[in-house]
Chain A
Amino acid sequence: MPADDDARPEPRRRPSSVYGVGSEPDARFSLANERTALAWVRTGLGLVAGGVALTSFATFAELPVMLDVVAAVACLAGAGLALYSLRAWSRNEVALRTGLPLPAPSALPVLVVGVVVMGILIAGYAVSTIL
């Protein structure tokens, strides 16, 4: 580590598993990575809010209990996406610092498949109540 000529010492940035590797990337890329992580957190939060709204309807409109199960799964999936944002941010920041290609967003296909499956199930359930 080069001798500090600065008047005030730089506090170590955490986590060291990220900032101890490679060199400082373009600040714009780091900020873009940060915004991406926040977007994943908001996606997870949206799933949690959707699950809470669904269980609210299911309980007070006395809809089938299966909707409560779907709501619980949505809430836990939202929590999982929020956790994924931390992992994705770390891996992306390390890739930016070492100049390697960015890892693929592994949660994206899972999210898309999950949303499509949920949509089909809900549509199927809605049709079955009409028939």
Chain B
Amino acid sequence: MPVIVPDGAQPERTALAWQRTLLGVVLGALLLAMTAARAGVPAATVGAAALGVYVTVRMVLRSPAATLRRGTVGSPWPVLRRVVGVVVALGVLGAATAVVGAVRALSSTPGALTGVG
């Protein structure tokens, strides 16, 4: 039997939470793309830019809070899993960019590890 979502602020708060989260993901992808572009790591640049575009397009096409508009509580799992996948991908790309930067700095100036001396 479908559950009727009670009127009130809860669905609105949840929709706003989704918006905050997705906006943060797009901004994070943009930040990583710019950082990787300056650092000269093309794989991370392209990957982060692609992820940002993907999330933006999905946001515009259909809000995940749309499951609430039918009047029943759907499952947030499919969209949540995709968003987590994007964040994990950004984390891996960010770590890779940091490692590449570290390797390059170490190979050019051997004393650069701690900056001492």
A residues within 8 Å of B by Cβ? 2, 6, 10, 13-15, 18-19, 24, 27-28, 30-32, 34-35, 37-39, 41-42, 44-49, 51-56, 58-60, 62-66, 68-69, 71-73, 75-76, 78-80, 82-83, 85-86, 89-90, 129
CB pair B20 A42 closer than 8 Å: yes
B5 at the interface (CB under 8 A from A): yes
Closest B residue to A40 using CB positions: B84
In the complex the two chains form, is A49's CB within 8 Å of B102's CB? Answer: no
A-B residue pairs in contact (CB < 8 Å), sample of 15: A27-B4, A34-B14, A34-B76, A38-B80, A39-B17, A41-B21, A45-B87, A45-B90, A51-B98, A52-B32, A59-B39, A64-B113, A66-B115, A78-B87, A80-B91
Q: Is the CB of A56 within 8 A of B95?
A: no
Residues of chain B lying within 8 A (CB to CB) of residue A30? 73
Q: Which residues of B contact A75 (CB under 8 A)?
A: 90-92, 94-95, 98
Name which residue of chain B comes closest to A89, CB basis.
B80
* Contact bitstring B59-99, A, C-beta under 8 A = 1, else 0: 00000000000001111111011011001101110110111
The one of B17, B28, B81 that contacts A34, using a Cβ cutoff of 8 Å: B17
As a 0/1 sequence over residues 19 to 45 of chain B, the CB contacts with chain A under 8 angstroms (1 = contact) are 011001101100110010011000000
CB distance from A44 to the nearest CB of B (A): 6
Partner of A48 from the list B74, B87, B101 (CB cut-off 8 Å) is: B87
Bound Cα distance A77, B62 (Å): 30
